[in-house]
Amino acid sequence: MSGNLARGMLAATHPAPAAAVTLLALALALRVEPDLGRVLLVGAAVGTGQLSIGWSNDWLDAARDRQVGRSDKPTVSGAVSPGLLRSAAWAALVVCAVLSFATGPVAGLLHLGLVAGGWTYNLWFKRTAWSWLPYAAAFGLLPAFVVAAAGDGRVVAGWAVLAGALLGVGAHVANVLPDLEDDRVTGIRGLPHRLGRRVASVVAPVVLAAGSVVTLLGPQGTPTGVATVLTTVAVAFAAGAGVVGVRQPRSRAPFLLSMAVAALCVVQIVVAGDAVAVAA
């Protein structure tokens, strides 16, 4: 594989979000599962699932990306062809399915449900007012998959599913902010587009901050000092993002602050990792 092709294939995975989701799964698995082999299996399953989602996204969006001149996209620059991405996406999905079911039948189904969320978003949901739903389902299923993969009879805590769902919805709305105009040109009308830039710039950090609050208050017992500080900072960042979003909707600050809130929420979930799994 040439260097240009390899770089194009890597770029088409959407490496930042793919790596973030995979690392979150690994970090949670390390808190929930003492067996390193199973932890690595969880990471491999999630990683290949994210590869399939990223590659399918750039394959399915190739024509729209060319229409708006997205020269940063490898299918537009000519680094990779949509056909190659299609084949790679399906191959990664097959490997993902094998690895997912290797963690157990229930865990396998949960993870394939997560991956299906990403694929259905790429195929249809992103053009509808329900664009948030696959994100809510996928991020809510992630902790459920990690706990089920441990295979010790424990189940995922309800707060972790809710926090994951809120994280997914907030991240979706925030992630779309930089591309709102290009998306409209190509007929993409998801929830953030229907809300408009100003409202979406407020909704994204508020939903993410809500996920942080759920992660603080959800686990049993008194919240730790670390969790309290993380939530306080997350809420402050969310408030700042909302204010800037209302006053300066064209600013990039709401997106950056929302991503910071999302990162804080992820850290909180990992810190509370041992509370993600509870006795059935």
Please determine whether the domains at 1-154 and 157-280 fall in the same fold group of CATH: no
pLDDT at 182: 78
pLDDT at 34: 84
CATH superfamily of 1-154: UbiA prenyltransferase (1.10.357.140)
pLDDT digits 0-9 by tens, 175-191: 888 888 878 778 888 99
Do residues 198 and 205 make contact, with C-beta atoms less than 8 angstroms apart?
no
- Partner residues linked to 277 by β-bridges: 156
DSSP 8-state secondary structure symbol assigned to residue 67: H
CATH superfamily of 157-280: UbiA prenyltransferase (1.20.120.1780)
Sign for the CA dihedral angle at 163, 143, 136, 83 comes to: positive
Q: Which of 1-5, 146-150, 168-172, 241-245 is the least confident region? A: 1-5
- Locate all alpha helices (DSSP H) within 12-35, ordered by sequence: 15-32
Cα–chain center distance at 263: 11
Provide the mean pLDDT of the chain: 92
Which tops the pLDDT comparison, 216 or 65?
216
pLDDT at 187: 80
Q: Is the pLDDT of residue 3 over 80?
A: no
Give the start-to-end residue ranges of the domains of the chain. Answer: 1-154, 157-280
pLDDT digits 0-9 by tens, 131-143: 999 999 999 999 9
Provide the whole-model pTM. Answer: 0.93
Q: Is the pLDDT of residue 156 over 70?
A: yes
Instruction: State the angle between helix axes of 15-32 and 36-60 in degrees (0 to 180), rounded to the nearest 10.
Output: 160
The pair phi, psi for residue 69, each rounded to 5°, is 70, 40
Look-up: residue for tokens 């990992």? 270
Quick one: average pLDDT of 89-100? 98
Distance CA 129, CA 138 (A): 17
Radius of gyration of the chain (CA): 19
Which tops the pLDDT comparison, 163 or 180?
163
Distance CA 128, CA 111 (A): 24
Do residues 49 and 122 make contact, with C-beta atoms less than 8 angstroms apart?
no
pLDDT digits 0-9 by tens, 7-53: 999 999 999 999 999 999 999 999 998 889 999 999 999 999 999 99
Amino acid sitting at position 70: R
Using 50, 70 and 90 to split pLDDT, how confident is the model at 2? low
pLDDT at 65: 84
Query: How long is the chain?
Result: 280
Q: Is the pLDDT of residue 274 over 90?
A: no
